[in-house]
A and B are shown apart, each in its own frame.
Chain A
Amino acid sequence: MADVVEIFADGTRIERDFTEAEIAQIEKDKVDLAAKQAEAEAKAAQKAALLERLGISESEARLLLS
């Protein structure tokens, strides 16, 4: 099965594999996404640790900041 299907207004249909550039970008996107998810998880862990140290819940912290 082809990686990419291109359909033109006149009905022409082209099926092709990813180009090298597209493969490289897909791989880069995966790496970037993993880094973003790791950053979000680290931030959530930091937040949880801080709330625990302060001895308050997240909703109590929100109340303080509102």
Chain B
Amino acid sequence: MAITKATASSIAPAAKGDLVVGSSTNDAAVLSVGTNDHVLTADSSTATGLKWAAAASGGGSITLITPTSTANSGGSVSTSGGAVTASSVNSVSLNGVFSSTYNNYFFTVQEIIASTNVDVYFRMRASGTDTTAADHNRAGTKVTYSAGASSVVNDNAGTFFMLGQYDATNKLSSYVHLYHPNLATDTNYYSLNPSRDASIIQGGFLNNNTQYDGITVYPSSGTLSCTIRVYGLAN
């Protein structure tokens, strides 16, 4: 690689993590630092012959996915290493977590604290907008801890999916498995929710072909604190 005098002064890296690499004209160029957790990959179609890209998954792997952006109403949200931590929010949205890379995903909503004993819901999201159509179909079984009584929980053509009921002290968590949210077919889900007064196992589907790329988690009233992680399952 030849570094000319003219380019020598223009190749100074401008930001932490920038790289100086050879370009297609055998000159030096700056390759800006990539997205967190991406790796350097050869690509002959780019000017530098390199690009930053998500690491290829190994067989049967589970990959923690960092959202392209978050949105929150009230409170605050921070993202670290793919974990999105919400504090006293009215709602928290994760954008850009579902893509064509994976068919199936799961997400965890960990250490849920609600300001009052409220239900916590989630909605699928596409291009920054929640789906609110009455096409959420859900059914499951709720078994209370105190008396062991079981009952059916269900919504036919609801406008959201429910996780469970939470409170300010127990810091309970939920697991949600999503089948093909980013394919042009019905999104299916099941979830396991050890909630405040009962254990709830439920599943259902969204009766539309929208290709979703995100989720919103929110309480039925008041505020919510929790940590959300979305994982892609290798195809």
Contacts and interface: CB of A to CB of B under 8 A. Distances in A.
A binds B: yes
Interface of A: 3-9, 18, 21, 25, 28-29, 32-33, 59, 62
A9 B221 contact: no
Interface string B75-94: 01101000000000000000
B130 interface: yes
Contact of A7 (B36, B70, B221): B70
Given A9-B68, A25-B132, A3 B73 contact: yes
Interface string B42-66: 0000000000000000000000001
A4 to B, nearest CB: 5
A8 B221 contact: no
**Which of B66, B69, B77 has the largest count of A CB atoms less than 10 A from its CB?**
B69
A53 B207 CA distance: 42
B221 A33 contact: yes
Contacts of B79: 7, 9
A28 B160 CA distance: 12
Nearest to A9: B68
Nearest to B77: A7
Contact of A62 (B68, B69, B71, B149): B149
Instruction: List the 5 closest A-B pairs by CB distance, nearest first.
Output: A8-B69, A6-B71, A7-B70, A25-B132, A4-B73
B77 A9 contact: no
Given A9-B79, A21-B129, 6 more contacts: A5-B72, A5-B73, A6-B69, A7-B71, A8-B69, A25-B130
18 contacts: A3-B73, A4-B71, A4-B73, A5-B72, A5-B76, A6-B70, A6-B71, A7-B70, A8-B69, A9-B35, A9-B36, A9-B68, A21-B129, A25-B132, A32-B159, A33-B220, A33-B221, A59-B147
Contacts of B73: 3-5, 18
A62 B77 contact: no
B181 interface: no
Nearest to B36: A9
Contact of B69 (A9, A21, A28, A59): A9
Contacts of B70: 6-7
Contacts of A28: 132, 159
